[in-house]
Amino acid sequence: MKTAVRENRMLVVSDIHMGNRLHRTRREFTAFVQFALDHRYTVCINGDGIDIAQLSLSLLVSDLTPSLGLFMKFWENDLRIYYTVGNHDIALEHFLTDVGRMKVVPFLSVTSGDKRIRIEHGHMYDDMFLRFPRIYYAFTLIGRIAIGISPKFYLALHAGNDAFVAFSEWGLSGFGLFGKKEAPPDENWIKGERACFREGAEASGSRGFDAVIFGHTHFEGTATLSDGIKYYNTGGWFGEPYCVAIDNGRLWYGSVKELIKQGDPFPLSNDEVVSQITGMFPVQRNDGDRLNIVDRAAAGNR
């Protein structure tokens, strides 16, 4: 299993939850995969791409089928699909290897250009998941039953779960008797996210990374951490999903809808397209005063 990789171009999304009745994302996800293929991006699905915990098999088939043919084209074009394991697909921990040609990993350490980027789902920094895994799992099962009743019933229950988590964290912190941590400035905080995730991003980024990308919380946003480390959360596909585009160390963050509508934030030149496909660079050679011969040379000999 290889978790340290070098990728020049990559798109990162998370929390698609295919197979879950609440996430009707078939067309949007297919359009995203097609965009990545058209613009020669490797893709990382950063956890909970398939919702094994709250799965409807018939919905999973209908959600996933349109993308399967596109996945095959990635491999034909020397592009890769990485899948980091989340909490709703944690059973995939038993398959930490290549599933077909999809690379299943617990996390990714990506080198792109002169930047190092850490990609994790983020559930391993969730205080409630770590301290009370049985209660967490029980709420997941209750949520599965609630989804079967109706999406509205589930959303009401989910709001109650959020209130329970907030109360539990308040109790675990000593009911506020030991003072409250001073909140960081707005630019260092993702709205709605609990403090444990920012602290987890800090811990992850401190290992020599320039940027950290999480999912899990379903709260999209960016923050600036210590030493200028950038933290991105790509949210979830309940509403409007977000993504991170990586190109030779440059990073772009925005909604998937914006990405597809406005086009590639890092468009490839014709030379770069040739290089991506063939591993060769076009080289122009002068013939006297005229530029009339176009040849190819191996990358690095340009």
pLDDT for 300: 36
Q: Tell me: the pLDDT tens digits for 89-133?
A: 877 766 656 666 689 999 999 999 999 999 999 999 987 766 666
Q: DSSP states of 243-268 as a string?
A: EEEEETTEEEEEEHHHHHHH--SSPP
Supply 215's token pair.
């999912």
How far is it, in rounded angstroms, from Cα 157 to Cα 17?
A: 18
- Cα-atom radius of gyration of the chain, to the nearest Å? 21
Cβ atoms of 43 and 74 within 8 Å: the answer is yes
Q: What percent of the chain has pLDDT over 70?
A: 66
CATH level 3 topology of 4-127+183-262: Purple Acid Phosphatase; chain A, domain 2 (3.60.21)
* CB 44 within 8 Å of CB 108: yes
> What is residue 188's DSSP assignment?
G
CA–CA distances in Å: residue 229 to residues 91, 125, 205, 223, 253:
31, 18, 7, 9, 15
Q: Rounded to an integer, what is the distance from CA 91 to the centroid of its chain?
A: 18
CB atoms < 10 A from the CB of 266, how many?
A: 16
Mean pLDDT value across the chain: 79
> Per the structure block, which two tokens stand in for 280?
């060769």
Among 136-140, 179-183, 186-190, 212-216, the range scoring the smallest mean pLDDT is: 179-183
Where do the CATH 3.60.21.10 domains begin and end in the chain?
Answer: 4-127+183-262
pLDDT over 60 at 234, yes or no: yes
d(CA 228, CA 118): 15
Q: If pLDDT is split at 50, 70 and 90, which confidence band does 151 have?
A: low
Query: Tell me, what DSSP letter sits at residue 92?
Result: G
